Amino acid sequence: MSLLVTGKIQVLPEDVSCRIAAGEVVERPASVVKELIDNSLDAASSLITIEVEEGGRRLIRVTDNGTGMNRDDAQLACQRFATSKLQTEHDLFSLSTLGFRGEALPSIASVSRFRLKTVSSESLVGTDTNSEGGTVWDIQDYAGVPGTQVEIRNLFFNTPGRLKFLKTVSTEFSKISYIVQQAATIHPQIHFRLLHHHHKVLDYPAVSTFQDRVIQIYGATFLDRFLTLNQTTGPFQLTGFTVSPHHAKGSRTPQEIFVNGRPIKNTTITHAIYEGYKSFLPKGKHPQFIVCIQLDPRTLDINVHPTKRDVRFSHPEVLHSGILHAIKQIFFSGSSFAINPQDAVPEERAAPPPIPTAKPTAQSLVVAPVSVSQFSPEIGNRHATHLSIFAQEPVATYPVQAQEFHVFPLGQIHQTYLLGQINQDLYIVDQHTAHERVIFERLLRSWSQKDVSQQGLLIPEPIELLPHQGALLDEWLPVLSQAGLEIDQFGPTSYVVRAIPAILGSVTVGPLVLELLDELSEWKSTDSLEALIRPILASMACQSAVQAGRTMTLPEISTLLQDWAKENFPMTCPHGRRVAIRHSLDELNTLFARTSE
């Protein structure tokens, strides 16, 4: 009898390993677009056209006028680890190209119906290769102008799991549009065009300077709001634009980082920039920036992840302190772009956050009665807290769930926490999270009862968006309108906000919408309407709730505690933060070793 012992380990077939690798490189249509644009850039193209259908699910076609490939190379290009950009491992640290891993084309081809048409500038006859799921089924001669066209149809047709994770057409398209915009930003000398269903969405003809490209993308007023960075700090060079502190917004767009010409995300750099702004930005504002860092490629590891989105620096601490100082320096430098240091808003002098009020302001006209009690800024009084100990009488009494509540406002601690007695219990309440939750509950209730009262703006608030933000907003307009936000489009990327939910009082409208857009990109189309509406309402509630650091008077404290009790003492805000700490009379008695009567 012979025993045949076979091991359990086997080498995966090429097509399986390729599809697994594809999972890392090709997450969504936008990742395909990024890889194809990178290849076109590496091929020294001066015009790159990206055509997309159904947010890239049905078709992605990238055409360039670069060097093209001859037949041998065209065939090799679709094999794994085949690259023209790297010969030895050492080359990894002196790369001048965006690609080097030789896995993008085979990975993309393995999860799509793929067609590569290419004509090398040296040969007259081009090659037309067709494959499906990575298997080539046709190679032919092809006559055309030098350059390359890669066509991807039915992405993920053979990996339904991936397909399921894709978001809506407009969300996927918005991500593509963002990728194109990023590539265009850092390559001003290249003409980029993006078409969706044959409509031209982006068109950035070649310009000679980075500044001109930035103006093409972000508009002519960009330079009025941004300071110019141009510093050589030790081992690296920092160029680009960073917002003047008093023009900073609540949104994180743009926050672009390019290292040696690659768009990346990197916490060291972002952190350094935020630190640089630290004492200059009012609360709730973010710095906007487009920074380009140029450094010795030997001090940089770009091979951290297949998507090459993150990089590793050999001396992150040097980079961190260099950027931090460079940012601080321009706020004080004498350059013509630099602002007067007095214009900066130091933290302690930061403009007070908007305080919700029921009163119509110069900007807003109340068309529907404001149904809830709001704080009025006029009641704000620095000495309010001193009065608190004299408040002996319950200020309000009204029923919640057939119960009577007695509310005694006691005061405020650190202009952040409210102290109060409700019935027998002592409460320490975070003023922001409590107010946020109250507003949220009211918004949610009025939304579910289809009774959102709106407040029309006397002067509609114009907002100018980037194309990828506009694409997103278009899709969510009906949902936002149900939440009480009335926004109309009046130009390709121009919108006006006409009305907001009355409950929000005099919230600043522009930042509210921009903040919402940051969140919109994360939503899935498959979510239920309520699941969609909740984050919108939470975000609106957060923006309009009273901030920490605002003095509140006793009547205001009382109103907020009443409103919160009325909502049945919710203990967390919509984002999950704690609202209150409660000590019952029994607990206090136990703490003080007193037997209760």
Contact between 40 and ligand ADP per CB under 6 A: yes
- Binding segment for ligand ADP (CB under 6 A), chosen from 22-30, 100-108, 358-366, 506-514, is 100-108
State in angstroms the smallest separation of the CB of 97 from ligand ADP. 7
User: Residue 211: which H helix or E strand, with range?
Assistant: helix 210-218
Q: Which does 68 bind (CB under 5 to 8 A by kind): Mg ion, ligand ADP, none?
A: ligand ADP
DSSP label of 22: H
Q: Among the candidate windows 96-104, 129-137, 228-236, 411-419, which touches ligand ADP by CB under 6 A?
A: 96-104
Of 133-162, binders to ligand ADP (CB under 6 A) are 148
Q: In the complex, which residue's CB is closest to ligand ADP?
A: 99
Q: 308 vs 432, which CB is nearer to ligand ADP?
A: 308
Q: Mask of contacts with ligand ADP, 46-65, x by CB under 6 A? A: ------------------x-
Which DSSP string do the residues of 177-193 spell out, in sequence order?
Answer: HHHHHHHHHH-TTSEEE
Using CB under 5 A as the binding rule, the residues of this chain from 24 to 53 that contact Mg ion are 39
- Cross-strand partners of 52: 60, 196
Q: Which does 77 bind (CB under 5 to 8 A by kind): ligand ADP, Mg ion, none?
A: ligand ADP
Could you tell me the two tokens for 76? 């090799």
Nearer to ligand ADP, 105 or 472 (CB): 105
Residue 32 or 507: the one with the smaller Cβ distance to ligand ADP is 32
DSSP code, position 351: P
DSSP secondary structure letters along 457-510: EEEEEEEE--HHHHHHHHHHHHHHHHTT-EEEE-SSSEEEEEEEEGGGTT--HH
Which residues of 205-254 form beta strands (DSSP E)?
A: 226-233, 236-243
| x/- track of binding to Mg ion for residues 70-109 (CB under 5 A) | -----------------------------x----x-----
* Minimum CB–partner distance for residue 42 and ligand ADP (Å): 6
Edge-to-edge strand ranges of the sheet holding 494-501: 454-464, 494-501, 486-489
CB 295, CB 235: distance < 8 Å: yes
Identity of the amino acid at 475:
E
Closest Cα partner for 280 from 216, 233, 327, 219?
327
CB of 121 to ligand ADP, least distance (A): 10
- Cα–Cα distance for residue pair 312/7, rounded to 1 Å: 39
> Residue 131 interacts with ligand ADP (CB under 6 A)?
no
Strand order in the sheet with 135-142: 135-142, 126-132, 113-119, 147-153, 59-64, 47-53, 191-196, 199-204
Q: Which residue's CB is nearer to Mg ion, number 78 or number 579? A: 78
Indicate the residue among 191 and 285 with the shorter CB distance to ligand ADP.
Answer: 191
- Shortest Å distance, C-beta 254 to ligand ADP: 27
Q: Which positions ≥6 away from 531 have C-beta within 8 Å?
A: none
Closest to ligand ADP by CB, 74 vs 319, is 74
Beta strands 494-501 and 486-489, pairing class: antiparallel
Whichever of 147 and 354 has its CB closer to ligand ADP, that residue is 147
Nearer to ligand ADP, 126 or 505 (CB): 126
Return the number of the residue (84 or 333) whose C-beta is nearest Mg ion. Answer: 84
Query: Residue 27 has what DSSP assignment?
Result: S
The SS3 call for residue 433 is: helix
Residue 67 C-beta: closest distance to ligand ADP, Å = 5
* List 104, 214, 439, 565, residue binding ligand ADP (CB under 6 A): 104
Applying CB under 6 A, the span of 51-59, 98-106, 243-251, 449-457 interacting with ligand ADP comes to 98-106
Contact 231, 326 (CB under 8 A): yes
Is 69 near ligand ADP (CB under 6 A)? yes
Contact residues: Mg ion, CB under 5 A: 39, 99, 104
> What residue ranges bind ligand ADP (CB under 6 A)?
35, 39-40, 43, 64, 66-69, 73, 77, 82-85, 99-105, 148
